[in-house]
Amino acid sequence: MIDNLELSSSDKELLNDINAKIVSFVQSDDTYLQMDPMNSYYRMMVHKVGTEYKLRSESKGNGENRSVRLSKTISTKIPDNFNKQRIIDRGIEIFYAKSGSEIVLRNDGSFGVSIKEHDEKILDRRIVDDGEFRIRNNKIICKQDSDW
């Protein structure tokens, strides 16, 4: 989605946040979304992601207060291949949960204990026996897995 840029883990996390905000905005009745102030690199990411949703974007403000405002168009929609584009991978970060808890990884990149969720919002679901897990390639990975 962001050309062939090499993204750091924090950039990927920001990209997931941007996507989640944009999806929520596209599904809302709001006509515009004012993003928080950010540096030029992050603004460029917002502009590029916005084009995937057929949104109009413009930067506003000066210096450290410069931000992106996204507006809906008559063509605005969530891309057909949205779920195929998103790869949620938190690298070697280890997360902890109570042993035996069922953890879910949601489409928006968030994860945690399952709370009566619709299956279409979940990428992966897993009981974490030993309490430690990682997020890799849209999957919850545990210590006993070969790709730990």
What per-residue confidence (pLDDT) applies to 109?
A: 79
Q: What is the pLDDT of residues 58-107, one digit of tens each?
A: 999 999 999 999 999 999 998 876 655 566 778 889 999 999 999 998 87
CA–CA distance, 37 with 62 (Å, rounded to integer): 9
Residues 92 and 80 in one domain: no
115 occurs within a structural domain:
yes
33 occurs within a structural domain:
yes
Residues 72 and 99 in one domain: no
Query: Does the model's pTM come out above 0.95?
Result: no
What per-residue confidence (pLDDT) applies to 1?
A: 46
DSSP bridge pairs for 95: 133
Residues 137 and 91 in one domain: yes
Q: How many domains does the chain have?
A: 2
Residues 37 and 92 in one domain: no
User: 3-class SS at 26?
Assistant: helix
**CA-closest candidate to residue 30, choices 72, 1, 76:** 72
What per-residue confidence (pLDDT) applies to 81?
A: 64
The encoded tokens of residue 75 equal: 């063509």
Q: State which residues form the domain around 114.
A: 87-142
Residues 76 and 95 in one domain: no
The encoded tokens of residue 94 equal: 């280890």
Residues 64 and 14 in one domain: yes
Residues 100 and 68 in one domain: no
The domain boundary residue, chosen from 61, 84, 107 = 84
1 occurs within a structural domain:
no
